[in-house]
Structure 1
Amino acid sequence: MFEGLSHLARDAKAWPFEQARNLLARTLRIRLTDAERDLAVVLINSGKTAEAVATFPALAKPVILETGYGPSGLPHLGTFQEVARTTMVRAAFRSLTDDAVPTRLISFSDDMDGLRKIAPNLPNQAMLAEDMGKPLTVVRDPFGTHESFGAHNNARLQAFLDNFGFDYEFVSSTDCYRGGVFDKTLLVALERFDAIQKVMLPTLGEERRATYSPFLPISPKTGRVLQVPTLERHVDKGTIVFEDEDGTLTEVPVTGGHVKMQWKPDWALRWTALGIDYEMSGKDLIDSVKASNQICKALGGVPPEGFNYELFLDEQGQKISKTKGNGLTMDEWLTFGTPESLAYYIFQSPKSAKRLHRDVVPKAADEYLQQLDAYQRQEPAQQINNPVWHIHGGRPPQEGSPVSFSLLLNLVSAADAQDKAVLWGFLSRYIPGASPETHPLLDTLAGYAVAYYEDQIKPNKAFRAPDEKERAAMLDLRARLAAMPSDCQDAELIQNEVYSAGNDAGFDPLRSWFQALYEVLLGQSQGPRFGSFAAIFGLPRTLALMDEKLGG
């Protein structure tokens, strides 16, 4: 699927290809000598990546991309956007290298973290309170379905990712700590304790500096993850000494799951031990990335490639907060729009702050459909820059929707449709032979349109009476439409009459004419092409709608 595209990927402007080129440059830089790299670049730029991999076995080692998940809560929009965007970079990298350099995508769960807060909507609050401070994979599952709270949320994560068809490998922090995956790097961290402190202490307040340790021991007596000073270090034995909760001095090894690391050193530990090559993160973590990069180097690792994306804002331009509950949630988007429309919105301008609220859903849905329609007419060099190429991993569907989402919304609004079967009454006449079976995407969009109308448009409808100029123009348009054959479904022909009526009435700018039509006839300030709406709704029904509203 990704073979034979490297010559196009080298010059592609879409941001995943920019990231892929950075990732390839890093891979060549850290795996090959200067002389080897020069030859490998020549081969890769000549479309002979497979030959470069055969010549230099170091390139046959998988390039590892990673995303992180904190299982103290359920997967959410941030989880989706990070996995979706990283998947886009992975697809671009595979195209850039003609799929000759193997890749892996790890979804890493920080399930060794101690439980610090209890969400008020969780059941069994008293039981969770008893387990406060323990690793999430030790905390009992309040839902009673899994062996731990961490396991419950990890299962939800995997079901979430599987539902969207992501290709990933799940990795548990607990498994890495207890299974020895991190042991070697933990011993290096113990040896280079002072170097880690040199990075971390300047970033902390005075009180925090006095007690900070990169190691968080797990109390052998209470099972809780403790934020306590490291009183002694024994590099030769691989142990630390700390004061346990009962005041006794306790010595534990840093290996085998007896400790975990503070999150910035933990991030660096993970990058180093797992050999992570790429990980992106939000703009709010820029300073954390810098600190973790320095610690990674101190541990003998090479920091991964990556970039910092902007955060979403609510309708008022405020940062979205799960605590405040502002902005649009993932579940809300998927109530009103397709996953593809969400992926399209996420693809666009990741380094620009964007407002995330319900009004953006129809626009994203239609822009996605427009890009999907354009894809079939584009040359390959244009296709790989088209968002739908990245949304669908290089394999966009061949057919889109013959009707826009905004037009479906206006049909629902005009007919006050309670379900999508009403819409199909119009659609099947407008598109001969069309049915939910022959046009599954259109059927899906019809269902979303009904849901969006009921929740977002119907409660906010605000009809108004036309002014004298608008009434005269609408009566003129009514006469023009009445003069056309009643079974006319020529959207362009109808649209021409709409334009003519507006122009003859002297509307300038002309969009004020269309705004008046929608406010008077549909109780909203905008919509799709009126000609397309009238063609599908039917001229007799459109005339009846005009009579009803103008008569009022």
Structure 2
Amino acid sequence: MENKQKELDKGAAASDAELDKGSMHWSQQLAQEVVQKAKEPYLISAGMTTSGPCHLGTLCEFLYPQGIKKALEMQGKKAKYYFVADIFDAFDGVPSVFEKYKSVLEPHLGKPLYVVPDPTGKTASFGEHFMTEAQEIMKHFGVEAQIIKINEVYAKGAFDKYAKLFLQQEEKVKEVVARTSLRKELPADWSPIMPVCEKCGRIATTRVTEHTDESYKYACDKDVKYTKGCGHKGENKLSDHKYKLNWRLHWPSWMDYFGTSIEGAGVDHHTRGGSWDTLLGIFKEIFKKEPPIGYKFGFILFEGKKYSKSKGTGMGVSQLMKLLPPEAIKYMLLKPDLQENIDINPTSVNMLRLLEDYQGAVALIGADEESMSRADRKRLQAARLSKIHEWKTAFLDVILYRQLYGSWENVAKESKDAAGVKYLSHYIEEWEKAGFIPEEYSYKYMPHKAEGKLKEFFESLKDGIQPIEIHNAVFEFAKANSIQPGDFFKSIYQLLLGKDKGPKLGKFLHALGVSRVKKDVL
């Protein structure tokens, strides 16, 4: 399997060089830009605040960088991938999944996520609870990233030099931040740093009152609507590491510290006046350096609404992981153009279309890429970036066999794809539990004796005929006998299943065996 994948990757690298940029998948375009502008080994960074359960939106935040890393490796390049768990952010709301722990959690509002207790007791903190969940999901999807807890980076003093620089040039920094965020001026109490109150532990309610290059005084007296400061006044040194940089300075600082070659963010960060504009200003005017390569990606919507970790909007990744193989989910998210909004509507029909599309894309591997349309090239690259698991039988066909033969042992025997059936069986069982099996595939085989034209039709079928030939035979017979094809299909389903609809007829009769069906109805 590994040798096969290496050959595929080499083939992909060779063909990439021949494609013009406009016909490339977004991962190939960005990999090409990294090679042209950055130095090897390349560093891809990304990050998120683990304030709630992972959903498809957050899944993209670690899948997209993985796609770039994979595209670079397909070209024989060396690349690392750092994923930042930003658990130094303030805890600003109880997510819906923790509603029952509200009374336990609300006293900690405004504190850094890494000091808020995990109400389940499973991990060291609230932030680490959801970070651990994210790590498990990364593993499930084959994401190879080094996880970095940003609070630990602060604790070892890595950001002290940035804090000192920003405090030394505070007026210039404020001017850059205000200008790039399209504000005339920043609030009077704005500061490059956000102290952690040594009395109540909050970070959201503090403000710097005065500072030198090495130390600062602060007051914990802000009202941020969801919590209030305790009124304490204190003083710390930067070397105490009891602060965090303001977000618009924190983001460029971590990229500079890690030596980032490329990092992306959602379109909201890349709008005019967004935090990406500030990042560019900080790199060029304060760091006096060229910024990393940036890219933006669209929103992941759930039935037209934006996902929200804290509000619980949208189906969680863990739920979808029970219904679909990881390859299909990755393919769904990696295939579209990067800036395109992806609207997820996980009905059984939509998921079956996705699975069919994915298996069709996998079938393109090894084909002549130069003769493909751009759409098929995108599908091909998305399939390459997804972990290609060996299953041959179509998902829908496995459902069909399951309804016909019951036990997985019999399904494996009839499909002649034991490994594939074993892999897909867990997902199909979840479909059964969740009621996702399409109505057409929920049936009992209850054949009656055929009469009239139905009898003529079944008498005309030959043993060993293939599914597509059966399908065509229905149309040809209906046309020859002046019968509406739709009506004739209904008549056949009524004869065999006692209902107007059923599985694809050609595949269904072929799975049953034409000789068996003829014996049952004639």
- Bin of the TM-score, shorter chain as denominator length: 0.7 to 0.9
CA distance in 2, matches of 1:233, 1:164: 46
Residue in 2 that maps onto 1:192: 169
Residue in 2 that maps onto 1:251: 235
Deviation at residue 435 of structure 1 after TM alignment: 5.3
3-state SS, counterpart of residue 129 of structure 1: helix
Counterpart pick for 2:187 among 209, 213, 219: 209
Deviation at residue 396 of structure 1 after TM alignment: 4.1
Residue in 2 that maps onto 1:30: none
CA distance in 2, matches of 1:323, 1:299: 35
1:215-257 CA-to-partner distances (Å, cap 9, x unmatched) read 211112222114444332312xx22332234546533233442
1:142-180 CA-to-partner distances (Å, cap 9, x unmatched) read 122333222333333322222333211111110111111
CA distance in 2, matches of 1:88, 1:216: 34
Letter in 1 for 2:460: A
Letter in 2 for 1:233: H
Counterpart pick for 2:28 among 9, 12, 17: 17
Deviation at residue 351 of structure 1 after TM alignment: 2.5
The 5-angstrom pairing of residues 515-526 of structure 1 reads none
Counterpart pick for 1:117 among 93, 111, 115: 93
Deviation at residue 356 of structure 1 after TM alignment: 0.5
Letter in 1 for 2:351: V
* Number of matched pairs: 485
3-state SS, counterpart of residue 329 of structure 2: helix
Counterparts in 2 of 1:210 and 1:376: CA distance versus 1, 3 Å: same
Q: Say whether 1:144 aligns with 2:121.
A: yes
Residue in 1 that maps onto 2:277: 290
CA distance in 2, matches of 1:297, 1:524: 68
3-state SS, counterpart of residue 231 of structure 1: strand
Q: Say whether 1:311 aligns with 2:311.
A: no
Contact kept? 2:327, 2:386, Cα under 8 Å: no
Residue in 2 that maps onto 1:52: none
3-state SS, counterpart of residue 45 of structure 2: strand
CA distance in 1, matches of 2:473, 2:377: 37
CA distance in 2, matches of 1:336, 1:519: 30
3-state SS, counterpart of residue 82 of structure 2: strand
CA distance in 1, matches of 2:220, 2:311: 36
Q: Say whether 1:8 aligns with 2:15.
A: yes
Contact kept? 1:131, 1:139, Cα under 8 Å: yes
Counterparts in 2 of 1:268 and 1:75: CA distance versus 1, 3 Å: same
Structure 1 residues 341-350 or 298-307, which shifts more?
A: 298-307
3-state SS, counterpart of residue 176 of structure 1: helix
CA distance in 2, matches of 1:428, 1:230: 71
3-state SS, counterpart of residue 46 of structure 2: strand
Letter in 2 for 1:69: M
Contact kept? 1:88, 1:391, Cα under 8 Å: no
CA distance in 2, matches of 1:380, 1:420: 44
The 5-angstrom pairing of residues 256-275 of structure 1 reads 256-275=240-259
Contact kept? 2:52, 2:310, Cα under 8 Å: no
CA distance in 2, matches of 1:373, 1:119: 42
Deviation at residue 526 of structure 1 after TM alignment: 8.7
Letter in 2 for 1:81: C
Residue in 1 that maps onto 2:344: 356
Deviation at residue 284 of structure 1 after TM alignment: 2.5
Letter in 1 for 2:37: R
1:469-522 CA-to-partner distances (Å, cap 9, x unmatched) read xxxx9974663234335x5352233233123134436689x7898799789969
The 5-angstrom pairing of residues 364-375 of structure 1 reads 364-375=354-365
Residue in 2 that maps onto 1:406: 396
Letter in 1 for 2:194: L
Counterparts in 2 of 1:450 and 1:249: CA distance versus 1, 3 Å: closer
CA distance in 2, matches of 1:63, 1:522: 62
Contact kept? 1:118, 1:125, Cα under 8 Å: yes
Counterparts in 2 of 1:273 and 1:488: CA distance versus 1, 3 Å: same
3-state SS, counterpart of residue 89 of structure 2: coil
Counterparts in 2 of 1:451 and 1:25: CA distance versus 1, 3 Å: same
Counterpart pick for 2:468 among 481, 492, 496: 492
1:404-452 CA-to-partner distances (Å, cap 9, x unmatched) read 223334555x64x8x652xx535633x4xx253xxx2233334433433
Q: Say whether 1:443 aligns with 2:431.
A: no
Structure 1 residues 372-381 or 123-132, which shifts more?
A: 372-381
Letter in 1 for 2:300: F
Deviation at residue 81 of structure 1 after TM alignment: 2.0
The 5-angstrom pairing of residues 58-69 of structure 1 reads 59-60=39-40, 62-69=41-48
Contact kept? 1:477, 1:498, Cα under 8 Å: no
Counterparts in 2 of 1:355 and 1:17: CA distance versus 1, 3 Å: same
Contact kept? 2:478, 2:488, Cα under 8 Å: yes
Q: Percent identity of the aligned residues?
A: 20
Residue in 2 that maps onto 1:86: 65
CA distance in 1, matches of 2:488, 2:156: 69
Residue in 2 that maps onto 1:44: none
Residue in 1 that maps onto 2:225: none
Q: Say whether 1:170 aligns with 2:147.
A: yes
Contact kept? 1:217, 1:225, Cα under 8 Å: yes
Counterparts in 2 of 1:131 and 1:289: CA distance versus 1, 3 Å: same
TM-score (norm 1): 0.76
The 5-angstrom pairing of residues 453-532 of structure 1 reads 453=432, 455-457=434-436, 476=453, 479-485=456-462, 488=464, 490-504=466-480, 528=504, 530-532=505-507
CA distance in 2, matches of 1:179, 1:512: 74
TM-score (norm 2): 0.79
CA distance in 2, matches of 1:151, 1:462: 43
Deviation at residue 535 of structure 1 after TM alignment: 0.6
Mark the runs of 5 or more structure 1 residues left unpaired by the alignment: 28-58, 464-472, 548-552
1:78-97 CA-to-partner distances (Å, cap 9, x unmatched) read 2322222211111212233x
Counterparts in 2 of 1:214 and 1:396: CA distance versus 1, 3 Å: same
Contact kept? 1:106, 1:168, Cα under 8 Å: yes
3-state SS, counterpart of residue 230 of structure 1: strand
Deviation at residue 20 of structure 1 after TM alignment: 0.7
Deviation at residue 10 of structure 1 after TM alignment: 2.4
Residue in 2 that maps onto 1:240: 216
CA distance in 2, matches of 1:532, 1:206: 67
CA distance in 2, matches of 1:507, 1:294: 72
Counterparts in 2 of 1:352 and 1:124: CA distance versus 1, 3 Å: closer
Residue in 1 that maps onto 2:447: none
CA distance in 1, matches of 2:125, 2:456: 70
Residue in 1 that maps onto 2:509: 534
Counterparts in 2 of 1:233 and 1:386: CA distance versus 1, 3 Å: same
CA distance in 2, matches of 1:3, 1:338: 26
3-state SS, counterpart of residue 74 of structure 1: coil
Contact kept? 2:46, 2:84, Cα under 8 Å: yes
CA distance in 2, matches of 1:81, 1:157: 12
